[in-house]
DNA sequence: GTTGACCTTCCAATGTTGGCAAGGTTTACA
DNA sequence: TGTAAACCTTGCCAACATTGGAAGGTCAAC
């Protein structure tokens, strides 16, 4: 039995975000004291840490909802969990490839830029010309 | 002399975004016809393509403002441009490393998950335990 | 009993893009 | 000339996750 500040400190999820997750339905409405304060159990903190960890792994809130449902379902098939995880891996890798493409282009352009007081710069020239696309 | 739709098609920046860039001050207010329509010149389209290319390279709008100022400044030092570009590369690489860390963790967890009809799954177990952190 | 630390709800902003609505303008065609 | 389609205008809402603040109620310690 603890209030939202304690639960936040114990789980690593801010009080602000706990209320937000409740508002969007990721978490069930917390029980309240007579005066209206939310209160949480150790079990609730456990769930919050699950969410925190999943966020750290880059899962979107919608994905976490699915994972939470599977987590709670003792009869789940591990294939369902694996599918979500690998789908997320694929999305992450697409993003990485996209960013890496940007890095490669910029590094190439920067390599040809004097980087001194002279004004001519292939980086600007490329932006100017649209990169030949 | 063309209206916003033409400028959008010619530059690859949507009319919506052109208005947005104007609203946040990245672009100066466009000239208007008597009836209030914005109109653009080939030079304006040139600027829009510059912006489009920079966005494709992942520069934030704030960065693009700086790049645009340098682009317009005939006396700029190429070092200034290179600094911005390499700063952006560093930020991109930090992001890539972060995503790659997620991928590595998830791949490792998924590798130990049967992925069949059985319920036990190390992915959920890890989320549960907080990954040992 | 007062002070400070906590809690509550509501509103706003971040950054970039898309969508929709209601209304005015221009263009093309019959 | 009339009209319909295609364009333009502004403004508001939506997304994503998170943070901040304001105004006000509650709890604990001293």
Note the pLDDT tens digit of each residue in B67-109.
999 999 999 999 999 999 999 999 999 999 999 999 999 999 9
Instruction: Dump pLDDT digits (tens) for A34-70.
Output: 999 999 999 999 999 999 999 999 999 999 999 999 9
Note whether ipTM > 0.95 here: no
Same domain, B15 and B31: yes
A47 CB neighbours in chain B (<8 A) are: none
CB atoms within 10 A of CB B41: 13
CA-to-CA distance for B110 and B128, rounded, in angstroms?
Answer: 15
**How many domains are contained in chain B?**
2
* B47, B107, B119, best to mutate vs chain A, most A CBs in 10 Å: B119
CB atoms within 10 A of CB B126: 21
Q: Where are the alpha helices (DSSP H) in chain B?
A: 4-11, 15-23, 42-56, 61-72, 78-111, 122-129
Sign of the dihedral through C-alpha A32, A33, A35, A37: negative
- Nearest Cα of chain B lies from the Cα of A15 at a distance, in angstroms, of 19
Instruction: Dump pLDDT digits (tens) for B105-129.
Output: 999 999 999 999 999 999 999 988 7
Same domain, A5 and A55: yes
pLDDT tens for chain A, residues 1 to 133 = 999 999 999 999 999 999 999 999 999 999 999 999 999 999 999 999 999 999 999 999 999 999 999 999 999 999 999 999 999 999 999 999 999 999 999 999 999 999 999 999 999 999 887 554 4
Instruction: Dump pLDDT digits (tens) for B21-45.
Output: 999 999 999 999 999 999 999 999 9
Same domain, B69 and B125: no
- pLDDT for A130 equals 58
In which domain, by residue range, is A40 found? 1-75
Which residue is associated with the tokens 């990169």? A131
Same domain, A45 and A97: no
B41 neighbors A85 (Cβ within 8 angstroms) = no
Same domain, B50 and B16: yes
- List protein-proximal bases of chain D (any atom < 7 A from a CB): 7-10, 16-20, 25-27
């Amino acid at each position: 039995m603890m209030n939202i500040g304690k639960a936040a400190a114990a789980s690593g999820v801010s009080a602000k975000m706990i209320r937000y997750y409740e508002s969007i339905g990721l978490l069930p409405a917390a029980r309240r004291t007579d005066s209206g304060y939310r209160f949480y159990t150790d079990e609730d903190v456990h769930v919050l840490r699950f969410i925190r960890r999943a966020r750290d792994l880059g899962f979107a809130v919608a994905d976490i909802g699915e994972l939470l449902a599977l987590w709670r379902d003792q009869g789940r098939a591990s294939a369902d969990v694996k599918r979500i995880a690998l789908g997320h891996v694929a999305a992450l890798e697409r993003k990485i490839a996209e960013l890496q493409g940007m890095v490669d282009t910029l590094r190439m352009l920067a390599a040809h830029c004097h980087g001194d007081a002279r004004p001519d710069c292939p980086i600007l020239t490329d932006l100017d010309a649209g990169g030949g696309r």
